[in-house]
Structure 1
Amino acid sequence: MMGGVLRRVPLFVQLAAFHAASMMVPALHALSIDAHRVAQAFFYNGVLLLAVLAALAVATARDRSRNITRSHLVALLGAFTILPVMAAMPVSDIVSDTRFLNVYTEMVAAMTTTGGSLFPADRLPETVHLWRAFVAWQGGLVVWVAAVAVLAPLNLGGYEVAEGNVRRHADLEQTRTDGQAMNPDLRVFRAMVTLGPIYLGLTGILWAILTIAGEGATTSLIHAMSTMSTSGISDGTTIARSTAGIGGEVAIAAFLMFALSRQTFSTDMNRDGMRHLAQDRELRIAGMLVVAVTVALFARHWIAAFEVGTTDDVGGALGALWGSAFTVLSFLTTTGFESAHWQAAQSWSGLGTPSVLLLGLAMFGGGVATTAGGVKLLRIYTLYAHGQREMSVLVYPSSVAGMQGRGRRIPSGGIEAAWVFFMLFATTMAGVTLAFTLTGLDFEDALALAVACLTTTGPLAEIVLGGKGTLTTLPDASKVIAAATMVIGRLEVLALFALLNPNFWRD
Structure 2
Amino acid sequence: MRHILDLPVLVILLGISALAMFLPAAHAVVLRDHDIGRAFFYSGTILLVLSGMIGLATANHQPRNAARSHLMALAMAYLVLPLALALPFDQAIPDTSYVNAWFEMLSSFTTTGASLYDQPERLAPSLHLWRALVGWLGGFFILVMAMAVLAPLNLGGLEVVTGRTPGRGDRQSGIVTRVADPSERLTRFTVILLPAYAGLTVALWVLLLILGDDGMGALCRAMGTLSTSGISCDAGRAGGQAGVAGEAVMAVFFVFALSRRTLPGSFVTGRHDPLLRDPELRLAGVIVGVVMITLFLRHWLAAFQLADGTDLPGVGSAIWGSAFTALSYLTTTGYVSQEWSDVRLWSGLQSPGLILLGLAIVGGGVATTAGGVKLFRVYALFRHGERELEKLIHPNSVGGAGQSARRLRREGAYLAWIFFMLFAMSIAVGVGALALAGIDFENGLILTLAALTTTGQLAQTAGASPISYAGLSDAAKLILAGAMVLGRVEMLALLALVVPSGWRN
Q: Show the 5 A alignment for 1:304-343.
A: 304-343=302-341
Aligned counterpart, 2:388? 390
Output the amino acid matched with 2:148.
A
Q: Show the 5 A alignment for 1:116-135.
A: 116-120=114-118, 121-135=120-134
**Please, what TM-score do these two structures have when normalized by structure 2?**
0.95
Aligned counterpart, 1:452? 450
Output the amino acid matched with 1:110.
S
Identity %: 45
- Measured after TM superposition, the shift of residue 269 of structure 1 is 3.2
Q: Does structure 1 retain, via aligned residues, the 8 Å contact 2:116–2:468?
A: yes
- Measured after TM superposition, the shift of residue 122 of structure 1 is 1.9
User: Would the alpha carbon gap of residues 145 and 348 (structure 1) be closer, same or farther in structure 2, given more than 3 Å must change?
Assistant: same
Deviations 1:125-152 (A, max 9, x none): 1111110110010010011100111001
**Helix, strand or coil at the partner of 1:269:** coil
User: Would the alpha carbon gap of residues 491 and 65 (structure 1) be closer, same or farther in structure 2, given more than 3 Å must change?
Assistant: same
**Helix, strand or coil at the partner of 2:234:** coil
- Is 2:30 the partner of 1:16? no
User: Would the alpha carbon gap of residues 66 and 432 (structure 1) be closer, same or farther in structure 2, given more than 3 Å must change?
Assistant: same
Aligned counterpart, 1:61? 59
**Helix, strand or coil at the partner of 1:413:** helix
User: Would the alpha carbon gap of residues 382 and 275 (structure 1) be closer, same or farther in structure 2, given more than 3 Å must change?
Assistant: closer
Output the amino acid matched with 1:66.
R
Output the amino acid matched with 1:428.
S
Deviations 1:115-173 (A, max 9, x none): 02011212211111110110010010011100111001111001101158xx9x99777
Aligned counterpart, 1:175? 175
Of the three residues 438, 441, 459, the one matched with 1:440 is 438
Partners of 1:180 and 1:227 lie apart in 2 by 35
Deviations 1:345-389 (A, max 9, x none): 111111111111100000000000001111100000000111111
Q: Does structure 2 retain, via aligned residues, the 8 Å contact 1:215–1:243?
A: yes
- Is 2:73 the partner of 1:75? yes
Output the amino acid matched with 2:17.
H
Output the amino acid matched with 1:14.
I
Output the amino acid matched with 2:447.
L
**Helix, strand or coil at the partner of 1:266:** coil
Deviations 1:265-317 (A, max 9, x none): 12423696466111000000000000110011001111011100012211111
Query: Which sits farther off after the overlay, 414-423 or 330-339?
Result: 414-423
- Is 2:49 the partner of 1:51? yes
Output the amino acid matched with 1:441.
I
- Measured after TM superposition, the shift of residue 261 of structure 1 is 0.3
Deviations 1:328-353 (A, max 9, x none): 00000000000001111111111111
Q: Show the 5 A alignment for 1:149-168.
A: 149-162=148-161
**Helix, strand or coil at the partner of 1:410:** helix
Of the three residues 253, 256, 266, the one matched with 2:254 is 256
Deviations 1:466-486 (A, max 9, x none): 777811111211100000000
Partners of 1:389 and 1:241 lie apart in 2 by 42
Q: Does structure 1 retain, via aligned residues, the 8 Å contact 2:107–2:113?
A: yes
Partners of 2:61 and 2:239 lie apart in 1 by 52
Partners of 1:443 and 1:171 lie apart in 2 by 46
**Helix, strand or coil at the partner of 2:395:** coil
Partners of 1:327 and 1:25 lie apart in 2 by 32
Partners of 1:39 and 1:409 lie apart in 2 by 55
Q: Does structure 2 retain, via aligned residues, the 8 Å contact 1:240–1:341?
A: no
User: Would the alpha carbon gap of residues 171 and 36 (structure 1) be closer, same or farther in structure 2, given more than 3 Å must change?
Assistant: farther
Aligned counterpart, 2:216? 218
**Please, what TM-score do these two structures have when normalized by structure 1?**
0.94
- Measured after TM superposition, the shift of residue 394 of structure 1 is 2.2
Aligned counterpart, 2:274? 276
**Helix, strand or coil at the partner of 1:244:** helix
- Is 2:379 the partner of 1:378? no
RMSD (CA atoms): 2.2
Partners of 2:288 and 2:417 lie apart in 1 by 24
In structure 2, the gaps of 5 or more residues are none
Query: Which sits farther off after the overlay, 215-224 or 399-408?
Result: 399-408
Deviations 1:6-58 (A, max 9, x none): 23210111011111110011111111111111110000000000001100001
Partners of 1:116 and 1:62 lie apart in 2 by 39
**Helix, strand or coil at the partner of 1:268:** coil
Output the amino acid matched with 2:30.
S
Partners of 1:217 and 1:423 lie apart in 2 by 44
Q: Does structure 2 retain, via aligned residues, the 8 Å contact 1:449–1:461?
A: yes
Q: Does structure 1 retain, via aligned residues, the 8 Å contact 2:131–2:231?
A: yes
Output the amino acid matched with 1:205.
A
User: Would the alpha carbon gap of residues 275 and 385 (structure 1) be closer, same or farther in structure 2, given more than 3 Å must change?
Assistant: closer
Aligned counterpart, 1:421? 419
Q: Does structure 1 retain, via aligned residues, the 8 Å contact 2:357–2:462?
A: no
Aligned counterpart, 1:296? 294
Aligned counterpart, 1:25? 23
Q: Does structure 2 retain, via aligned residues, the 8 Å contact 1:373–1:490?
A: yes
Aligned counterpart, 1:461? 459
Output the amino acid matched with 1:175.
I
> 4+ residue stretches of structure 1 with deviation over 6 A?
169-174, 466-469
Partners of 2:404 and 2:348 lie apart in 1 by 44
Partners of 1:319 and 1:39 lie apart in 2 by 42
Q: Does structure 2 retain, via aligned residues, the 8 Å contact 1:8–1:64?
A: no
Partners of 1:306 and 1:366 lie apart in 2 by 34
Query: Which sits farther off after the overlay, 457-466 or 422-431?
Result: 457-466
Q: Does structure 2 retain, via aligned residues, the 8 Å contact 1:118–1:468?
A: no
Aligned counterpart, 1:362? 360
Output the amino acid matched with 1:340.
Q
- Measured after TM superposition, the shift of residue 86 of structure 1 is 0.8
Q: Does structure 1 retain, via aligned residues, the 8 Å contact 2:192–2:265?
A: no
Partners of 1:350 and 1:303 lie apart in 2 by 11
- Measured after TM superposition, the shift of residue 240 of structure 1 is 4.1
Partners of 1:437 and 1:149 lie apart in 2 by 38
Partners of 1:52 and 1:192 lie apart in 2 by 24
User: Would the alpha carbon gap of residues 381 and 119 (structure 1) be closer, same or farther in structure 2, given more than 3 Å must change?
Assistant: same
Output the amino acid matched with 1:82.
V
**Helix, strand or coil at the partner of 1:316:** helix
- Measured after TM superposition, the shift of residue 413 of structure 1 is 2.2
Query: Which sits farther off after the overlay, 459-468 or 252-261?
Result: 459-468
- Measured after TM superposition, the shift of residue 72 of structure 1 is 0.7
**Helix, strand or coil at the partner of 2:175:** coil
Q: Does structure 1 retain, via aligned residues, the 8 Å contact 2:399–2:406?
A: no
Query: Which sits farther off after the overlay, 412-421 or 77-86?
Result: 412-421
Query: Which sits farther off after the overlay, 96-105 or 352-361?
Result: 96-105
In structure 1, the gaps of 5 or more residues are none
- Measured after TM superposition, the shift of residue 238 of structure 1 is 3.3
Q: Show the 5 A alignment for 1:73-112.
A: 73-112=71-110
**Helix, strand or coil at the partner of 2:42:** helix
**Helix, strand or coil at the partner of 1:374:** coil
